[in-house]
Amino acid sequence: MPMLNGISEGSLVSELAQLSLIKTARQTDANLALVKSTYEGNSSAENAKNLQHALASDARWTEAAGFPYAGTYVGFSAIATKVFARLETEWDNYRVDIEDYVAQGDKVFAFGTYSGTYVKTGKYFSARVAHLWKIHSGKIVSFEQFVDSHTVVNIM
């Protein structure tokens, strides 16, 4: 087997593979921490600030088809106006409670439950949700929502 400075080629390849795995694991951990910061702040305002800081300027935010705010919005300003401003004014105590995360490389999944009371009808809902986040170079480049939209629309 070929040697380089007394180290076998196989050993060198093995060490490079281990370094690559360590780098990927660190990046996965950093991506998970970034996404968690958008849910686990001390207040909704802190979460919004963390989200604004974490988003790439051209981030794509996709609300599920059938959901009241369905569509894809690009950039924090559009996301804030088309999604978060409406959540703030159209709902009482609208919230997402994340119960688990799964992270792999540049993707982070968050699983949980939405709940709240629609102001116009006074009706309460609770619906399961999954969010898929994609991160590139330390910034969130996309978000996609998967939710039981029927449960939400039914109480509106």
Residue 82: exposure state from Cβ atoms within 10 A (0-12, 13-18, ≥19) = middle
Buried b (16+ CB within 10 A) or exposed e, 60-71: bbbbbeebbbee
pTM, 2 dp: 0.84
- Alpha helices for 9-137 (secondary structure H): 9-37, 44-54, 76-79, 85-90
Model pLDDT, residue 9 = 63
Domains contained in the chain, number: 1
Per-residue pLDDT of the chain (156 residues; tens, 9 = 90+): 565 556 666 665 677 677 777 777 788 999 999 999 999 877 667 888 899 999 999 999 999 999 999 999 999 999 999 998 899 899 999 999 999 999 999 999 999 999 999 999 999 999 999 999 999 999 999 999 999 999 999 999
DSSP three-state, residue 21: helix
Domain holding 129, by residue range, is 3-154
CATH code of residue 111: 3.10.450.50
